Structure 1
Amino acid sequence: MPQVQLKLDEKQHGGFQLIEKDKKIGEMVLSISGTILTVYHTEVDEEFNGKGYAKVLLDEMVAYVRKHKYTVKALCPYVFAQFTRHPDEYADIWEK
């Protein structure tokens, strides 16, 4: 199973990276401003499609947001779709 690492620059821009055998195979691009974490894009390399890795990134981001008491602005189509499909699961963190 790949590992997830959060990498942010000094301006709080970056993302959660999915790493397998020292290679980045996926990423959730985001920025943090105040207490709002904005997700722009989620992508997993094509050869790893269908393994649930986008959900791994989503779960890691959600855990991070809850730990730091942030809310999420979901500009990423994948994250927005998950929040829309499961509104009760994400109601506490979704910045609509």
Structure 2
Amino acid sequence: METTKVVLGNARGEVQLFSDDNKAGKMDISVIKDKLTVYHTEVDDEYAGNGFAKLLLGELVSYARENNLKIVPLCPYVHAQFKRNPEEYNDVWFKVEA
């Protein structure tokens, strides 16, 4: 069974994904004021193709919504998902105006 959790310490942390008590993936994040920045998403090779990156993203977005945070998607995976599905993520997507 897969479980996810957000672990923060001193404004930096991870969104962690476990499969049967084994760490299967993570997102590197930081939270400063009302911005949650996601830098990197990683799923271990043995778990690739199981939709685990999407589970991590779901936990990230839920955490942001629950804590009134805007997500700065520096991670290429998260940014691509936000661009593909803007209606799903507009409420939490922090867009830098050029």
Which band: TM-score by shorter chain? Answer: over 0.9
Give the aligned partner of residue 86 of structure 1: 85
Residue 28 of structure 2 corresponds to residue 4 of structure 1: no
SS at match of 2:57: helix
1:23 Cα offset (Å)? 2.1
Cα-Cα RMSD: 0.9
Structure 1 stretches lacking a partner, 5+ long: none
Distance in 2 (alpha carbons) for counterparts of 1:61 and 1:6: 8
Structure 2 stretches lacking a partner, 5+ long: none
1:81 Cα offset (Å)? 0.3
1:50 Cα offset (Å)? 0.7
Distance in 2 (alpha carbons) for counterparts of 1:49 and 1:32: 27
Question: Which whole-Å deviations, capped at 9, do the CAs of 1:14-51 have from their partners, x for residues lacking one?
Answer: 11111123321100110000000000000100111110
TM-score, structure 2 normalization: 0.92
Percent sequence identity over aligned pairs: 47
Give the aligned partner of residue 57 of structure 1: 56
SS at match of 2:81: helix
